[in-house]
Structure 1
């Protein structure tokens, strides 16, 4: 069993999942301005205002991938989401910064 209630996810695996159409929910916990400037396509911005809707709309067995700036804050958010009963929670290692560096053409600036 994992020592943490979530799993680490590398950028290559996330890219493969997205390419394969793997069902998942991407949640970006960065500040609203950073999210507006760029985010992984299909991400939804998650903050104290929107978390209730996420909890209401997302099945507990859904795969949740948490994205932050560099992959540190997302670990705390992933732990919290797992504590809400989600069984498949991932923290993106390298965060949005790593994603944008490796996949600059796969960054969306339109609100998701």
Structure 2
């Protein structure tokens, strides 16, 4: 089991077409609260159980970190947990915010 890289253009296309997917943000809680891709869920040790329970194994999972590096390790781990379509967002939230700054959600 492994993951694939996902570029911002593909993610934007999927979101515009309302393709079912799970956006999992692994950044620290404060950064997640201050800004995230709309619809993202914060993935950490405390939330992993709930996310595992209510996310279909065949739903695409897109893992988001700061710059697209840490998300690769998390994506590989999630693929090893039985999720079939796991992606690491290239460029991470930093690149997303630079190119889609008007489409950022904040608050808890």
With normalisation by structure 2, the TM-score equals: 0.97
1:77 paired residue number: 74
Is 1:15 the counterpart of 2:12 in the alignment?
Answer: yes
Q: Any unmatched runs of 5+ in structure 2?
A: none
Q: Any unmatched runs of 5+ in structure 1?
A: none
Residues in 1 aligned to 2:28 and 2:43: alpha-carbon distance in whole angstroms: 9
Is 1:92 the counterpart of 2:89 in the alignment?
Answer: yes
Matches within 5 A, 1:37-76: 37-76=34-73
Aligned residue pairs: how many?
108
Residues in 2 aligned to 1:10 and 1:93: alpha-carbon distance in whole angstroms: 5
Deviations 1:37-81 (A, max 9, x none): 100000001100000111111111110000000000000000000
Is 1:33 the counterpart of 2:27 in the alignment?
Answer: no
Q: How far does residue 110 in structure 1 lie from its aligned partner after superposition?
A: 2.7
